[in-house]
């Protein structure tokens, strides 16, 4: 049965909509018939007989990985590329995906297939970055059948394939424009089959919607082995690489980079996101969180300004909006602060996103500090989850973060072992202001 699917976000519906309920874009619904999506070759394919094999007889996965030579990238992958692995790399336009690929794959014999940029543009960027050109092959073929034929003749001489982007590739066997649901699913499926059969790692670059979600149906994400997200604000030079899915490694690790004039530079300093730790101003708190196997430290800033609106404004950057609303409700309930008289702004310095619950205590402390106009003690660190009753709970990796904080000479560490309830935060700020 035919249905309508949004070409921007993959939202499906039984009837046509002018505006997509999923992403809010206009005139993106196209009719999609699942039965018409099968290629002619697949219809003519012979029936394959089922031949079960004992798991004991199946050889173990080859764990020899191909390293990129960039530690932060390899960390997220789990140590490097696995033979036959297919990875989907996403990120906002202009965030630096092409720069990341050129720098990280220059040590591997790579075929770069681009439907987004011309060869001259890619070469100009590669020269500016100082990338080795000899290892990079370029092609602008967008037809799937032509790509697969070319890869079949090159598979013994190349170590990696990049397709930038998957939404520009089309199959002549399938109806629809490049990037449509039927084209996207068929193209991705056949590329994955080729990669697995020939043990050739493949990197697919994908577009994102205006909300930051991966464009296209969610089934594409399920088909690939790993989904990597390259994040960061364009106004900030920091970039973070996260694994949203990884069949051959952990999804907890992140890679940290700084976009400099010479390209992306690896960041291994846990204090890279902090400026002056000793400065004491109302509304500033330092938090410690575990990102994978390493502790990192971020600065949370809160601003509470008197409001003239009937409904106070809440603006949040870098942490979950609904989480901040929950914490504000906990503050109001337990500390009886007049939050309805203030517009409240929360921001994580550096243009990064912090998703750990370990940031709860720091957000709460910064908010109370700004409302009371009392600075927190200098060289202080906050780590802990705040419950609905105002209690402070221990978080994953707390002991390791505290140990690293002591090594970095943080003088005052506030965690679940030092603070049991958010009422103690107000006492802490008041005690400091009296000195």
Q: Look up the CATH number of the domain holding residue 424.
A: 3.30.230.10
Q: Which residue has the tokens 């203030």?
A: 342
Q: Which long-range contacts (CB under 8 A, 24 or more apart) does 399-403 make?
A: 400/290, 400/295, 401/288, 401/289, 401/290, 401/295, 401/358, 402/288
CA distance 430 to 427: 5
Average confidence (pLDDT) over 133-142: 93
Residues 27 and 142 in one domain: no
Residues 397 and 331 in one domain: yes
| Diameter of the chain measured on Cα atoms | 83
Confidence of residue 426 (pLDDT cuts 50, 70, 90): confident
Backbone angles phi, psi at 412, to 5 degrees: -120, 115
Q: Any residues with CB less than 8 A from the CB of 53 and at least 6 apart, and which?
A: none
pLDDT above 60: residue 414: yes
Task: Please calculate the CA angle 333-336-342 and round it to the nearest 5 degrees.
Answer: 100
Residues 361 and 409 in one domain: yes
| Per-residue confidence (pLDDT) for residue 211, from 0 to 100 | 61
| Per-residue confidence (pLDDT) for residue 227, from 0 to 100 | 94
Residue 58 located in a structural domain: no
Residues 309 and 371 in one domain: yes
CA distance 255 to 76: 6
Average confidence (pLDDT) over 331-335: 94
Residues 301 and 246 in one domain: no
| Per-residue confidence (pLDDT) for residue 332, from 0 to 100 | 94
Residues 209 and 297 in one domain: no
Residues 288 and 260 in one domain: no
pLDDT above 60: residue 434: no
Q: Which CATH number covers residue 118? A: 3.40.50.300
| Per-residue confidence (pLDDT) for residue 271, from 0 to 100 | 86
Structural domain ending residue among the three candidates 206, 239, 266: 266
CA distance 307 to 341: 6
Among residues 347, 403, 344, 397, the alpha carbon closest in space to that of 368 is found at: 344
Residue 272 located in a structural domain: no
pLDDT above 80: residue 198: yes
Confidence of residue 307 (pLDDT cuts 50, 70, 90): very high
| Per-residue confidence (pLDDT) for residue 93, from 0 to 100 | 84
CA distance 4 to 220: 18
Q: Is the peptide bond before 107 cis (omega within 30 degrees of 0)?
A: no
Average confidence (pLDDT) over 150-167: 93
Domain total of the chain: 3
Which one is predicted more confidently, 27 or 139?
A: 139
| Per-residue confidence (pLDDT) for residue 41, from 0 to 100 | 58
Average confidence (pLDDT) over 165-189: 86
pLDDT above 90: residue 400: yes
Residues 189 and 254 in one domain: yes
| Per-residue confidence (pLDDT) for residue 34, from 0 to 100 | 56
Q: What is the pLDDT of residues 22-70, one digit of tens each?
A: 778 888 787 766 555 455 555 666 787 888 888 888 776 656 789 998 9
Could you tell me the pTM of the whole model?
0.77
CA distance 298 to 281: 16
Task: Please calculate the CA angle 124-125-131 and round it to the nearest 5 degrees.
Answer: 105
Cβ atoms 269, 294 nearer than 8 A: no
Which one is predicted more confidently, 15 or 386?
A: 386
Q: Is 222 left (phi over 0), alpha (psi -120 to 50) or beta?
A: alpha
Average confidence (pLDDT) over 296-306: 95
Residue 278 located in a structural domain: no
Among residues 273, 261, 263, the alpha carbon closest in space to that of 318 is found at: 273
Task: Please calculate the CA angle 128-133-135 and round it to the nearest 5 degrees.
Answer: 140
Residue 384 located in a structural domain: yes
Q: What is the pLDDT of residues 217-265, one digit of tens each?
A: 566 888 999 999 998 877 778 898 999 999 998 888 889 999 888 899 9
Residues 92-107, buried b or exposed e (16+ Cβ, 10 A)? beebbbbbbbbbbbbb
Question: Mind giving me the DSSP string for 250-297?
Answer: -SS-EEEEEEETTEEEE---TTTT-S-SS---TTEEEEEEEETTEEEE
Residues 262 and 289 in one domain: no
Residues 261 and 303 in one domain: no
Range of the domain at 27: 1-35
Confidence of residue 435 (pLDDT cuts 50, 70, 90): very low
Residues 23 and 79 in one domain: no
Residue 54 located in a structural domain: no
Confidence of residue 365 (pLDDT cuts 50, 70, 90): very high
Residue 55 located in a structural domain: no
Structural domain ending residue among the three candidates 218, 239, 266: 266
Residues 254 and 291 in one domain: no
């Amino acid at each position: 049965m035919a249905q309508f699917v949004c070409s921007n976000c993959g939202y499906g519906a039984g009837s046509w909509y002018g505006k997509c309920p999923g992403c809010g874009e206009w005139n993106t619904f196209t009719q999609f018939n699942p039965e018409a999506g099968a290629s002619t070759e697949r219809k003519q394919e012979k029936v394959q007989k089922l031949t079960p094999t004992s798991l004991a007889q199946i050889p173990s996965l080859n764990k020899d990985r191909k390293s990129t030579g960039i530690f932060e990238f390899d960390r997220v992958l789990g140590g490097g590329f696995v033979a036959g692995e297919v990875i989907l790399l996403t990120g906002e336009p202009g965030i630096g995906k092409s720069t990341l690929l050129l720098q990280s794959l220059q040590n591997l014999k790579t075929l770069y297939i681009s439907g987004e940029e011309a060869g001259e543009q890619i070469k100009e960027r590669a020269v500016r970055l100082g990338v080795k050109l000899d290892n990079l092959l370029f092609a602008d073929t967008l037809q799937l059948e032509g790509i697969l034929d070319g890869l079949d003749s090159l598979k013994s001489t190349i170590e990696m394939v990049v397709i930038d982007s998957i939404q520009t590739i089309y199959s002549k066997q399938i109806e629809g424009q490049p990037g449509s649901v039927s084209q996207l699913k068929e193209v991705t499926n056949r590329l994955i089959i080729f990669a697995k059969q020939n043990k050739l790692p493949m990197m697919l670059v994908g577009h994102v919607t205006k909300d930051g979600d991966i464009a296209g149906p969610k089934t594409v994400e399920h088909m690939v082995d790993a989904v990597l997200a390259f994040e960061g604000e364009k106004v900030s030079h920091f970039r973070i690489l996260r694994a949203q899915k990884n069949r051959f490694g952990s999804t907890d690790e992140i890679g940290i980079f700084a976009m400099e004039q010479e390209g992306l530079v690896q960041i291994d300093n846990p204090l890279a996101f902090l400026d002056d730790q000793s400065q004491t101003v109302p509304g500033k708190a330092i938090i410690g969180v575990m990102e994978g196997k390493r502790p990192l430290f971020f600065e949370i800033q809160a601003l509470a300004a008197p409001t003239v609106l009937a409904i106070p404004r809440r603006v949040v950057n870098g942490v979950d909006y609904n989480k901040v609303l929950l914490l504000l409700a906990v503050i109001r309930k337990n500390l009886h602060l007049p939050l309805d008289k203030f517009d409240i702004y929360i921001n994580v310095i550096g243009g990064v996103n912090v998703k750990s619950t370990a940031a709860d205590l720091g957000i709460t402390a910064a908010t109370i500090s700004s409302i009371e106009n009392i600075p927190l003690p200098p060289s202080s660190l906050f780590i802990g989850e705040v419950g609905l009753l105002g209690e402070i709970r221990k978080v994953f990796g707390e002991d390791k973060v505290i140990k690293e904080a002591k090594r970095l000479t943080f003088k005052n560490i506030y965690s679940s072992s030092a603070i049991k309830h958010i009422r103690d935060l107000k006492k802490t700020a008041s005690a400091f202001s009296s000195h």
